Amino acid sequence: MKKIKTAIIGAAGYTGGELLRLLIHHPACELIYVHSNSQKGKKVTKVHPDLIGETELVFTDEVQTEGIDAVFLGLPHGQTKGFLEKHAFPKDTVIIDLSTDFRDESHGFTYGLPEVNKEKIKSAKKIANPGCFATGIQLALAPAVAAGWTKDSIHITGITGSTGAGKALSETTHFSYRTNNISVYKLFNHQHLKEIGQTFRQINADFQQELLFVPYRGNFTRGIWITAYFPFEGELEEAINRYQAFYQEAPFTWVSERDIDLKQAVNTNKCLLHLKKEKGNLVVYAAIDNLLKGASGQAVQNFNLTFGLEERLGLNLKSIAF
Q: Report the run of H or E that residue 297 belongs to, with start and end.
A: helix 296-306
| pTM of the full structure | 0.96
Query: What is the torsional sign of CA 197, 198, 203, 205?
Result: positive
Report the relative pairing of strands 94-97 and 70-73 from DSSP bridges: parallel
Closest CA to 217 of 185, 262, 175, 187: 185
Listed as own residue / partner, the contacts of 311-318 with beta carbons closer than 8 Å and 24 or more positions apart are: 311/114, 311/251, 311/252, 312/251, 312/252, 313/26, 313/27, 313/28, 314/22, 314/23, 314/25, 314/26, 314/27, 314/28, 314/29, 315/22, 315/252, 315/269, 317/267, 317/268, 317/269, 317/292, 318/267, 318/268
CB 76 within 8 A of CB 98: no
Residues 113-140 pLDDT 10s = 999 999 999 999 999 999 999 999 999 9
DSSP string of 70-111, one letter each residue: EEEE-PPTT-HHHHHHHSPPPTTSEEEE-SSTTTT-GGG-EE
- What is the C-alpha separation between 195 and 111, in angstroms, rounded? 9
pLDDT reading at 169 higher than 80: no
Lowest mean pLDDT among 71-80, 172-181, 269-278, 290-299: 172-181
Q: Is 132 a catalytic residue?
A: yes
Residues 22-52 pLDDT 10s = 999 999 999 999 999 999 999 999 999 999 9
189: amino acid identity, one letter: N
pLDDT for 171 equals 79
pLDDT for 128 equals 98
Q: Residue 114 — φ and ψ, nearest 5°?
A: -60, -35
Closest CA to 253 of 68, 122, 150, 116: 116
Residues 79-90 pLDDT 10s = 999 999 999 999
Question: CA dihedral in degrees (106, 75, 124, 88; nearest 10)?
Answer: 80
DSSP-based helix, strand, coil % in the chain, nearest 5: 30, 25, 50
141: amino acid identity, one letter: L
What is the overall mean pLDDT for the chain?
A: 96
Residues 230-258 pLDDT 10s = 999 999 999 999 999 999 999 999 999 99
Residues 170-208 pLDDT 10s = 778 778 888 899 999 989 998 999 999 999 999 999 999
CB 235 within 8 A of CB 277: yes
Which of 22, 73, 128, 132 is catalytic? The answer is 132
- What is the C-alpha separation between 28 and 13, in angstroms, rounded? 23
Question: CA dihedral in degrees (75, 213, 153, 143; nearest 10)?
Answer: 60
